[in-house]
């Protein structure tokens, strides 16, 4: 299919950015509908929903999004920049109106802050608030300030007028690296500083961009968050353990493990549980959708590194990388079968003797029985020969 | 149509062959005890590559095919209303009773977690799409039906006073009145599970050579099981006739052999026709292990067809040869498709261990012992056995 990179940007003319043609962002109508249907499939919705998603995504009034960055590394944004279906620019230029994002907005300084204030005022109660990074709370949150305001304040203020709040990344979802011991800034996840508000958490370090994009499109289409689990993570993405869909799972069940990096088992692609893979206690869809749009198998475990549990509070950045995971499905036995288990037995002399004995007995008995039978001449009379 | 009378043979039960058979049963009992004390690996060579070993293949798949005598004769007598074969019914039924009951016993030995077996009977654990689940339920039901069908034999043997005291005469009348229900179920159930024993192999996929793997497996298993049922009735009756000098039933078998031969022709035609249709004919003549096994099977199937259709079928000797070849052919077909032609890949090999074989042999010996015990003490064999009695063997 034609890719955006094939378009000569110098001569490409966007007709009306807010009209239908502009809304497609350089895609043909067919490409765009295909993309929306694929998103519907990611969300586990019917293909018809793709049409509704397309309608929502090309609506003339693009829903405004305010993106606040707290104690973060911009990894979440970086990973979003590497999404290709759609690209982030297709999202922020055509589907949503990203009114404020410190790393991406073209304005700077007072101009950017003023635009944010204007947008929030104009769209009070309608905009989507996205927060990446954890919120420092020690000393009234002075460890993270933007435009003279603590991020704690900014988040609380924006949350009041937000239609929906998304915490993207592990830091915003459960604290992430900044909240690890000794947690010098008393960093907290977004939902802990916004008691009473529903915060959709998209954990991951970085999170898979498509989990975020799918959640955004769900919100646009249905006007409500997707089904969430107990930790407010969308169930379509975080409903199952990595262990359940891992391509190395058969090795776990068969007891075939890599014991150190580069050993025989590691080179053979065996299970990484014994070198600290946290897949058995981490909920995410990484094995199902992979990372980086370069094909199946491209995710940490797929390329030979144990999962470190970034989407799971109390696992990522908390447990040592090479500590054993607590298997939540069922614990493996203490002793596993050996990797080079014998593949069955060959014939033993005793067994051969038994088989030969039975065969000999059968032939002998059959022959004896035959010898005493009358052949063909007599079929009704019962001959009384003294056989035994 | 005169009523058929049945009488016990009334010979001495504990004879020398009986004791020899008993010895093998004791050896098997020792290894079965070891299997339950120390686990399957102690006595068996079964592995992850070959989870189905001789216990299932010989005692269940082949054993229940041998137990199809009752099914095959009941089909003729009750469904096609050929009453001339009625005298064969009870001995055939008895063979079925032991073939199936001891097949069930073998499964209990073979099940790794046998203590969970009762879960099969709990409907909320049932998996109705599973072939093996159907086989398990069906075989359990059929064992029950077989014993119920056989129950009148016990009742006939009991003294009338005893029966009256415990109301068993009423049970006898009840069973006699509703026997047709049992007979109908007793024909239905083996039709279901003998074909399903073939369906089980459908999941083998490429592990099984195309010479055996076909979507017709269920029908091939059913027809060959029926033919084996007739074969086993002929074999049993011939051996009993030789050993105990009972009246010969050769004339009756001459008729029966046409039915068996017809089934076998149908079986071979389907098997070869399907092979040609799927385009794998050259595999049969490849000269390798699989091809030669296939040709051996065909040769063994052809012997009974030729014998039973020629004038030789009136000879007891040729009937015996035909029945033995038929049973050998059916058994080899089952052994090949379940074990000898199965390649699980990855270097797996399997040959049964001596203890494993001894358990199978012991179960077969127990079957023969019980058969002898029953025909000697219970009214199983029909007709005028009293005439030929008088000379203890």
Residues A258-313 pLDDT 10s: 999 999 999 999 999 999 999 999 999 999 888 888 777 889 999 999 999 999 99
Looking at beta carbons, which residues of chain A come within 8 Å of B351? 345-348, 351
- Model pLDDT, residue A16: 57
Q: Does B383 touch chain A (CB under 8 A)?
A: no
Q: Does B5 touch chain A (CB under 8 A)?
A: no
Q: How far is CA A155 from CA A67, A98, A203, A216, in A?
A: 10, 16, 18, 19
Q: Does A7 touch chain B (CB under 8 A)?
A: no
User: pLDDT tens digit string along A181-222?
Assistant: 899 999 999 999 999 889 999 999 999 988 998 898 888 888
- Model pLDDT, residue B386: 43
A54 pLDDT exceeds 90?
A: no
Q: Are A177 and A75 spatial neighbours (Cβ–Cβ below 8 Å)?
A: no
Instruction: Give the separation between CA A199 and CA A195, rounded to whole angstroms.
Output: 10
Instruction: Give the separation between CA A345 and CA A365, rounded to whole angstroms.
Output: 31
**Tens-binned pLDDT, residue by residue, of chain B (393 aa):** 345 678 888 788 888 889 999 999 999 999 999 999 998 888 999 988 888 999 999 999 999 999 998 888 888 888 887 888 888 888 889 999 999 999 999 999 998 888 888 888 898 888 888 888 999 999 999 999 999 988 888 888 888 888 888 888 888 888 888 888 888 898 899 999 999 999 999 988 888 999 999 999 999 999 999 999 999 988 888 888 888 877 777 778 887 888 889 999 999 999 999 999 999 999 999 999 999 999 999 999 999 999 888 887 778 888 888 899 999 999 999 999 999 999 887 788 899 999 999 999 999 999 999 999 998 888 888 765 444 443 333
| pLDDT (mean) for A164-182 | 92
| This model's pTM is above 0.80 | no
Q: Does B250 touch chain A (CB under 8 A)?
A: yes
Instruction: Give the separation between CA A194 and CA B286, rounded to whole angstroms.
Output: 77
Q: Which pLDDT band, with edges at 50, 70 and 90, does A332 fall under?
A: low
Neighbouring-strand partners of residue A165 = A129, A199
Q: Are B156 and B211 spatial neighbours (Cβ–Cβ below 8 Å)?
A: no
> Quick check: B245 and A376 CB within 8 A?
no
Looking at beta carbons, which residues of chain B come within 8 Å of A374? 315-317
Neighbouring-strand partners of residue A2 = none
CATH H-level superfamily of A240-337: Cytochrome-c3 hydrogenase, C-terminal domain (4.10.480.10)
What rounded mean pLDDT belongs to chain A? 82
- Model pLDDT, residue A6: 57
Looking at beta carbons, which residues of chain B come within 8 Å of A370? 317, 320-321
- Model pLDDT, residue A271: 93
Question: Which is it for strands A187-188 and A199-202: parallel, antiparallel or unpaired?
Answer: unpaired
Question: Which chain A residue lies closest to B364 (C-alpha atoms)?
Answer: A358
Q: Does B392 touch chain A (CB under 8 A)?
A: no
Q: Which pLDDT band, with edges at 50, 70 and 90, does A22 fall under?
A: low
Q: Among A134-143, A329-338, B202-211, B317-326, name the one with the lowest average pLDDT.
A: A329-338
Helix (H, G, I), strand (E, B) or coil at A314: coil
- Model pLDDT, residue B385: 47
Cβ neighbours of A71 (radius 10 Å): 21
- Model pLDDT, residue B129: 87
Domain A62-236 sits in CATH at 3.40.50.700
- Model pLDDT, residue B2: 47
Mutate to test the interface with B, among A337, A338, A381, A382 (most CBs of B within 10 A): A382
Question: Which chain A residue lies closest to B246 (C-alpha atoms)?
Answer: A382
Closest CA to B57 of B349, B348, B371, B340: B340
Helix (H, G, I), strand (E, B) or coil at B202: helix
Least CB–CB distance from A351: residue in B346, B348, B357: B357
**Domain range list for chain A:** 62-236, 240-337
- Model pLDDT, residue A250: 86
- Model pLDDT, residue A28: 73
B163: left (phi over 0), alpha (psi -120 to 50) or beta: alpha
Q: Are B198 and B219 spatial neighbours (Cβ–Cβ below 8 Å)?
A: yes
Domains of chain B, start order:
45-345 (1.20.1630.10)
Q: Percent of chain A having pLDDT more than 90?
A: 37
Half-sphere exposure of A286 (CA within 13 A, CB side): 31
- CA of B348 to nearest chain A CA: how many angstroms apart? 5
- CA of B250 to nearest chain A CA: how many angstroms apart? 6
- Model pLDDT, residue A242: 93
Cβ neighbours of B309 (radius 10 Å): 17
């Amino acid at each position: 299919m034609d890719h955006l990179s094939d378009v000569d940007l110098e001569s490409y003319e966007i007709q009306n950015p807010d009209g239908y043609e502009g809304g497609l962002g350089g895609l043909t109508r067919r490409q765009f509908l295909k993309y929306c249907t694929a998103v519907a499939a990611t969300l586990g919705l019917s293909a018809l929903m793709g049409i509704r998603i397309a309608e929502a995504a090309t609506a003339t009034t693009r829903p405004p999004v305010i993106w606040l960055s707290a104690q973060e590394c911009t990894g979440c944004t970086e990973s979003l920049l590497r999404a290709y279906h759609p690209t982030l620019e297709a999202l922020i230029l055509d589907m949503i109106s990203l009114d404020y994002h410190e790393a991406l907005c073209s304005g700077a300084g007072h101009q950017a802050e003023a635009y944010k204030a204007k947008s929030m005022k104009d769209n009070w109660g309608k905009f989507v608030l996205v927060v990446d990074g954890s919120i420092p709370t020690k000393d009234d949150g002075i460890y993270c300030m933007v435009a003279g305001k603590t991020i704690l304040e900014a988040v609380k203020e924006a949350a009041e007028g937000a239609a929906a709040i998304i915490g993207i990344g592990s830091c915003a979802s459960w604290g992430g690296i900044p909240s690890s011991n000794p947690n010098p800034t008393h960093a907290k996840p977004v939902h802990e500083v916004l008691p009473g508000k529903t915060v959709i958490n998209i954990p991951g370090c970085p999170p898979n961009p498509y989990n975020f994009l799918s959640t955004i499109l769900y919100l646009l289409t249905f006007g409500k968050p997707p089904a969430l689990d107990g930790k407010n993570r969308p169930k379509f993405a975080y409903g199952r353990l990595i262990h359940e869909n891992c391509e190395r799972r058969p090795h776990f069940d068969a007891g075939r493990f890599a014991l150190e990096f580069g050993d025989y088992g590691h080179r053979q692609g065996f299970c990484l549980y014994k070198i600290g893979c946290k897949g058995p206690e981490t909920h995410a869809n990484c094995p199902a959708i992979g990372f980086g749009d370069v094909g199946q198998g491209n995710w940490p475990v797929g390329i030979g590194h144990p999962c470190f549990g970034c989407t799971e509070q109390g696992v990522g950045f908390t447990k040592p990388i090479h500590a054993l995971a607590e298997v939540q499905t069922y614990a493996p036995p203490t002793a596993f079968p050996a990797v080079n288990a014998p593949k069955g037995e060959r014939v033993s002399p005793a067994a051969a003797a038994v088989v030969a004995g039975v065969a000999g007995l059968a032939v002998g008995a059959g022959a004896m029985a035959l010898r005493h039978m009358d052949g063909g001449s007599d079929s009704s009379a019962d001959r009384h020969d003294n056989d035994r | 149509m005169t009523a058929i009378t049945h009488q016990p043979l009334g010979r001495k039960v504990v004879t020398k062959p009986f004791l020899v058979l008993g010895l093998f049963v004791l050896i098997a009992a020792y290894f079965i005890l070891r299997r339950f004390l120390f686990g399957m690996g102690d006595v068996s060579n079964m592995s992850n590559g070959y989870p189905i070993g001789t216990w299932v293949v010989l005692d269940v798949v082949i054993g229940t095919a041998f137990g199809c005598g009752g099914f095959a004769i009941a089909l003729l007598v009750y469904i096609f209303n050929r009453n001339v074969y009625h005298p064969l019914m009870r001995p055939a039924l008895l063979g079925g009773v032991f073939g199936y009951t001891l097949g069930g016993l073998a499964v209990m030995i073979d099940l790794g977690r046998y203590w969970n077996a009762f879960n099969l009977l709990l409907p909320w654990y049932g998996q109705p799409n599973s072939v093996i689940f159907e086989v398990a339920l069906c075989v359990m039901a059929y064992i029950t039906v077989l014993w119920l069908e056989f129950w009148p034999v016990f009742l006939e043997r009991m003294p009338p006073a005893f029966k009256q005291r415990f109301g068993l005469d009423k049970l006898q009348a009840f069973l006699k009145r509703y026997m047709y229900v049992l007979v109908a179920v007793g024909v239905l159930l083996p039709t279901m599970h003998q074909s399903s024993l073939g369906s089980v192999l459908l999941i083998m996929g490429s592990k099984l050579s195309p010479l055996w793997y076909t979507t017709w497996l269920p029908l091939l298993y059913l027809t060959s099981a029926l033919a084996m049922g007739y074969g086993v009735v002929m074999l049993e009756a011939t051996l009993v006739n030789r050993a105990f000098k009972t009246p010969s039933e050769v004339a009756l078998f001459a008729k029966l052999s046409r039915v068996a031969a017809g089934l076998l022709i149908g079986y071979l035609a389907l098997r070869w026709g399907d092979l040609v249709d799927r385009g794998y004919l050259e595999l049969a003549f490849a000269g390798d292990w699989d091809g030669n096994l296939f040709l051996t099977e065909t040769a063994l199937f052809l012997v009974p067809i030729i014998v039973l259709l020629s004038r030789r079928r009136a000879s007891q000797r040729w009937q015996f040869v035909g029945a033995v070849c038929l049973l050998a052919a059916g058994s080899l077909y089952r052994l090949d498709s379940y074990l000898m032609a199965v390649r699980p890949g990855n270097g797996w090999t399997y040959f049964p261990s001596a203890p494993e074989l001894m358990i199978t042999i012991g179960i077969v010996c127990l079957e023969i012992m019980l058969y002898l015990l029953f025909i000697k003490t219970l009214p199983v064999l029909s007709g005028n056995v009293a005439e030929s009695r008088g000379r203890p063997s």
